Structure 1
């Protein structure tokens, strides 16, 4: 673990999703350029437009941003929020399943090379793109890993779309699990700092999460165990309580550093992690920042 800390010290000094002490100091912005997804998680419901305005969770954005909008949006945003040092792509679909992600990363590499660049992914295509991400200057990758046992993963995800085929149940789960581990190993080899996101579903994977930490201990920098937000096909399942979350984190921490301050941010979040702000499109064209504090929850 100390070796990993040393290897990625340059990231932990500037990235608020890798260092809880930076939450009130360094901001980040998510660019919602990746709408399509290649897996069907049972807890995920993507949401766009006006109905998304009062929601603060992954998978939602005011609208899908085009790569051509990115430079002007960021140039204006940095004037308003000079504390932003990190630019991420977090969907609202899967980043690696959208060509717009790579078009955006090329723009960022050219126009904003001083910014830390990161993205989130389900990891299905990470073996294919790990090197390309490194070549494009990406420094951190978050991979959502909910199981390392196909029987458990099949309860979290209905199907995956891979190499032109829809693979369901345990067949798809096995391919996803294998690709996630291979991809994380490659990312580590290319000096990408990897964070493992794990959605804690008490009825399904609560007693399995330590196995995830053990499996990824040598390759991922940190694990972020986040509570289920009951919705979509898991709307009747319960959210884990604070004691359960804390207990699982304590057990998993024996094998991997735990991140304990995740905000479960939107795909278009901007600013400090506690500010609850995101992108808005006004007058049909102009991009602006929308403040969720204007709405009750």
Structure 2
């Protein structure tokens, strides 16, 4: 069966978002980083934000879910794993990709990760059909990153503060480089935290552009957890930062900040019917 073109990925190509859909498989509950904006403590079927799912799936259940959804909706082009934790911190991710790729080789496989372990798994990801990767890079300056990341677990040790932030960016850069070398298409997500990294996002754009990243997606903060006291950036603030960052790397401005179990189209006209949970 002929593989779908990567240009049919709705999160990488604007026109694809109007025609093609994606399916996120919630198989990865564990995480190796503590981000101050992250909360996975509650779930509502009508809530759309990263890290939320109504049900965790085993790899076998996930493969069955793909079969069910693809049969019902031929517009599905992408099977992604984006949580609810970090995909590469969970062995279930690779097993899920293996099972899905064996049954549905034509579908585009996608992983969204914090990048800490990306360099270690690029070749396995590619072998299991992954063609696109999204890495969340919120800071390249350890002083800024230390305000966003509470800590990181890396090779049996826990790091905090600027040491953790420096480690995170170094591993993200290494992972992006390896992914680019393997021929994967790479997008970078960045959470815009007002008063913390808003001024710093152009530096992030310059840094990831130098690594060859194809696209950047600046997402507004959803005030939760350690940043619950902050207001999200205004549309005007986001538009301004995107304009500045667009000088260095193309910008995605149609993101829906999808759940870990999202299914269907991203386009605004269909979001209410398709963009939420699969259960």
Q: Please indicate, yes or no, whether the TM-score normalized by the shorter chain is above 0.5.
A: yes
Give the TM-score taking structure 2 as reference length: 0.94
Distance in 2 (CA, whole Å) between partners of 1:25 and 1:189 is 30
Distance in 2 (CA, whole Å) between partners of 1:215 and 1:244 is 21
Which residue of the other structure, out of 256, 261, 264, is the alignment partner of 2:254?
A: 261
Residue 23 of structure 2 is aligned to residue 23 of structure 1: no
Distance in 1 (CA, whole Å) between partners of 2:248 and 2:126 is 26
Which residue of the other structure, out of 188, 193, 202, is the alignment partner of 1:196?
A: 188
Residue 14 of structure 2 is aligned to residue 38 of structure 1: no
Residue 141 of structure 2 is aligned to residue 149 of structure 1: yes
CA contact (8 A) 1:118 1:141 kept: yes
Q: CA deviation at 1:24?
A: 2.3
Which residue of the other structure, out of 176, 197, 210, is the alignment partner of 2:168?
A: 176
Q: CA deviation at 1:52?
A: 3.0
Distance in 1 (CA, whole Å) between partners of 2:13 and 2:251 is 10
CA contact (8 A) 1:90 1:267 kept: yes
Tell me which residue corresponds to 1:113: 105
Distance in 1 (CA, whole Å) between partners of 2:276 and 2:73 is 11
Unaligned regions of 5+ residues in structure 1, if any?
A: 1-9, 281-297
Q: CA deviation at 1:39?
A: 0.2
CA contact (8 A) 1:16 1:26 kept: yes
Tell me which residue corresponds to 2:213: 220
Distance in 2 (CA, whole Å) between partners of 1:85 and 1:149 is 36
CA contact (8 A) 2:47 2:276 kept: no
Q: CA deviation at 1:106?
A: 0.5
Q: CA deviation at 1:116?
A: 0.3
Question: Residues 142-198 of structure 1, C-alpha deviation per residue, up to 9 Å, x if partnerless?
Answer: 000000001100100100000001101111111101000011011000001110000
Q: CA deviation at 1:216?
A: 1.0
CA contact (8 A) 2:45 2:276 kept: no
CA contact (8 A) 1:47 1:59 kept: no
The size of the alignment, in residue pairs, is: 268
Question: Residues 223-266 of structure 1, C-alpha deviation per residue, up to 9 Å, x if partnerless?
Answer: 00010000111000110001100000000000000011100000
Superposed, which structure 2 residues align to 1:71-150 within 5 Å? Answer: 71-150=63-142
CA contact (8 A) 1:86 1:118 kept: yes
Distance in 1 (CA, whole Å) between partners of 2:150 and 2:179 is 26
Distance in 2 (CA, whole Å) between partners of 1:23 and 1:180 is 27
Unaligned regions of 5+ residues in structure 2, if any?
A: none
Tell me which residue corresponds to 2:56: 64
CA contact (8 A) 2:20 2:265 kept: yes
Question: Residues 25-75 of structure 1, C-alpha deviation per residue, up to 9 Å, x if partnerless?
Answer: 101000000000000000000146xx3323110000011110011222211
CA contact (8 A) 2:136 2:188 kept: yes
Tell me which residue corresponds to 1:287: none
Question: Residues 85-114 of structure 1, C-alpha deviation per residue, up to 9 Å, x if partnerless?
Answer: 110000000000000000001101211100
